Amino acid sequence: MPEPAELQRRVLAAWTDSPARFREDANAEEDLVRGGYRDRLLVELAQNAADAAARAGVPGRLQLSLESGTLTAANTGAPLDDDGVQALASLRASAKRDGTGVGRFGVGFAAVLAVTDEPAVLSTGRSVRFSAAATRDAVAAVPALADELGRRDGAVPVLRLPFDAAGEVPDGFATAVVLPLRPGAGDVVRAALRGLDATLLLGLPALTEIEVVVDGAVRVHTRSGDGDRVELTADGVRTTWAVVTRTGELPAELFADRPVEERDRRGYTVTCAVPLDDDGAPTRLPGRQVLHAPTPSDELLSLPVRLIAPFPLAPDRRHVAPGPLTDALVAVLAQAYTDLLTELPTEPALLYLVPTANLAATELDAALCRAVLDRLSRAAWLPAADPEEPPLRPDRAVALHDPTPERVAALAGVLPGLLPADWSRRTDGPVLTALGVRRAGLAEVVEAVRGVQRPGEWWAALYTALADADREELAALPVPLADGRTAQSPAGVLLPSPDLPTQRLAPLGLRIADPAATTGRAGQVLERLGARMATAAAVLADPAVAAAARSSLDRADDGEDVARLAGAVLALVAAAGPGEHPELAELALPDDDGGWAPAGELVLPGSPLAAVLERGALGTLDRAFARRHDRAALVAVGVLDGFATVRAEHPDDLDV
């Protein structure tokens, strides 16, 4: 490889032969400095350090030190070699053509010219410096270039003429980039150093440490860990990141419209990363993100994670170039993003990572959002409220319109695809719409529970969970009845009081709610929806009871059925307490001859009346039946146990 002096001779000779070549080189360098590589100084220095470490296979360390108006970037790894010197003195011709690394002393080194006119690279291998003043003197000595130099007011391409350099590399490092800052650049560099973010290390895995020294004050950023968890430490504060990295090689035909030197770089590595909180849940990165390709570009992203991928860049080096290669990398990156989200612990915070295409920042961002949403909508990753259900695809998931833990707990296993309450609450409208998750209102809830068979306690929990819901939407809410039937609406349903012998009243055909379904606040909810509280006395006053008693003799051919009916009425009378019920005197009761007779025509066996009546004067209640039922209840429905007392104000009123 030629020495710096020989490189100078060749470049000056080319410029002498063609002043237009001098102009081209000057314009190209100026485009880089003022365009694609403006404000990229620290990123490019870090990138060079990472590539040097990767080439040497050692952990990369970078020290950025600002002292006495000079910025020094010292790094470990492979030292500067002859190819590196050649690359530094060439435009758009990196020494690295093997498709590895991010970029080593290629055109990105032009970023140093934003702050210095005298950059130097000192190394344990080769050392070289560049100088605007020395280049200007060399060009001024060439008569053929005088006119062009004058038209440019002395501006020259600094990185075309290398000069020998001398100096020591700091201990422990292989290379040092030394940048004496031009006037006014110190404050800009100082601010950039103080704002340097440890997350830069996510895109440079070969680099494990960046030490920043500003006027003697030291800050250290480190990276540790591999695989799906990476820890970044910034000034002693540690942050854990979930990381998904995918590698592969793209088909050659995708590179047909790319520059020749890019066509051999078909391999890719894409990375998606998001910080985690102390519980391992993802947290949103503050502010709007940019795509790293692989270092920061100007492509704004709405996706709230760090995305790193080798997208092809437009000539300005700041925006992604459209085309089939970009489309292919969008697909790869979208799958990696989906893998990142679905491999994280299943927490509602995952929903923060779901993109919404309508909020996309750029055309590329919109394409990424669409691709991510397409994959997320087809992946089964949402949790089901029912622990027996497998993970849900979003297009098969249901979120309650007004979710509470109680409602979701009651409906789990009844409403297929139901999301847990905290997922439904955190899933806002745009996210639901983007994923295709369906919202379920109360009308659908009511429809879903119609026909289900559940114990009364489950219904009580459901009614309590719906306590604050709109009354009209619950009008068709079913109610389980004590006799095993189901009322199709709460309206008119009887809510049993504690004294009501509910389990014995089935033969009466009354719509009495299952007591287990009315416990606690559930009874109040049903009452608000049209059910009414029912004591034994209130039920006894229901005309249906008297009607059942009057018609009981008509069913005497089914003795078992009539016996159940009689038992139900007597249990109800006993629960109602003292009182007479002449309206029930036609209730069919068994007599001692094996037949049936109205209660009012039977005598209670063993009663005082039975002792004095002639046999056959009145029928006698079956003794076994009498022993099984409350004596006071039998008398209350008309069974005779003594002489009735008749009172009248005038004897003539008595019909004797």
Question: Which tens digits make up the pLDDT trace of 537-576?
Answer: 888 888 889 999 999 888 878 888 899 999 999 999 999 8
Contacts by residues 603-609 (CB-CB < 8 Å, ≥ 24 positions apart): 603/639, 603/640, 603/641, 604/631, 604/634, 604/635, 604/639, 604/640, 604/641, 607/640, 607/641, 607/642, 608/641, 608/642, 609/640, 609/641, 609/642, 609/643
How many whole angstroms separate alpha carbon 403 and alpha carbon 419? 9
Asked if the model's pLDDT at residue 99 lies above 50, the reply is: no
Inter-residue contact 2 to 161 (CB < 8 Å): no
Confidence at residue 610, expressed as pLDDT on a 0 to 100 scale: 64
Structure tokens at 577: 């307490």
Domains of the chain: residue spans and CATH: 4-221 (3.30.565), 225-378 (no CATH), 381-440 (no CATH)
Residue 401: closest CA among 483, 471, 466: 466
DSSP character at residue 11: H
How many whole angstroms separate alpha carbon 482 and alpha carbon 496? 9
How confident is the model over 464-495, as pLDDT tens digits? Answer: 999 988 889 899 999 999 999 999 999 999 99
**Distance linking the first and last C-alpha atoms of the chain:** 147
How many whole angstroms separate alpha carbon 564 and alpha carbon 506? 9
Structure tokens at 607: 């009663």
Q: What is the mean pLDDT of the chain?
A: 88
How many whole angstroms separate alpha carbon 446 and alpha carbon 463? 11
Confidence at residue 570, expressed as pLDDT on a 0 to 100 scale: 94
The pLDDT confidence band at residue 644, using thresholds 50, 70 and 90, is low
At residue 23, what are phi and psi to the nearest 5 degrees? -65, -40
Structure tokens at 621: 């209640």
Per DSSP bridges, beta strands 120-123 and 175-180 are antiparallel
Confidence at residue 465, expressed as pLDDT on a 0 to 100 scale: 93
Cβ neighbors of 245 (< 8 A, separation 6 or more) are 269, 270, 271, 336
Phi-psi region of 356 (alpha: psi -120 to 50; beta: other; left: phi over 0): beta
Q: Which has the minimum average pLDDT: 48-57, 277-286, 594-603, 608-617?
A: 608-617
How confident is the model over 26-62, as pLDDT tens digits? Answer: 888 887 777 656 678 898 999 999 999 999 999 999 9
Inter-residue contact 193 to 180 (CB < 8 Å): no
Cβ neighbors of 369 (< 8 A, separation 6 or more) are 302, 303, 355, 356, 357, 359, 360
Inter-residue contact 242 to 274 (CB < 8 Å): yes
User: Across the chain, how many H-helices and E-strands are there?
Assistant: 21, 24
**Residue 389: exposure state from Cβ atoms within 10 A (0-12, 13-18, ≥19):** middle
Confidence at residue 36, expressed as pLDDT on a 0 to 100 scale: 57
Asked if the model's pLDDT at residue 105 lies above 60, the reply is: no
Q: What is the mean pLDDT of residues 604-624?
A: 76
The pLDDT confidence band at residue 427, using thresholds 50, 70 and 90, is low
Confidence at residue 95, expressed as pLDDT on a 0 to 100 scale: 44
Neighbours of 101 (CB within 10 A): 19
How many whole angstroms separate alpha carbon 287 and alpha carbon 199? 14
At residue 248, what are phi and psi to the nearest 5 degrees? 175, -170
Structure tokens at 436: 């295709």
Confidence at residue 5, expressed as pLDDT on a 0 to 100 scale: 85
Partners of 120 in the β-ladder = 129, 178
Confidence at residue 1, expressed as pLDDT on a 0 to 100 scale: 52
Asked if the model's pLDDT at residue 103 lies above 90, the reply is: no
Percent of the chain with pLDDT over 70: 92
Answer whether the bond into residue 294 is a cis peptide, omega within 30°: yes
Buried b (16+ CB within 10 A) or exposed e, 325-344: bbeebbebbbbbbbbbbbeb
Q: What is the mean pLDDT of residues 88-94?
A: 65
Asked if the model's pLDDT at residue 104 lies above 80, the reply is: no
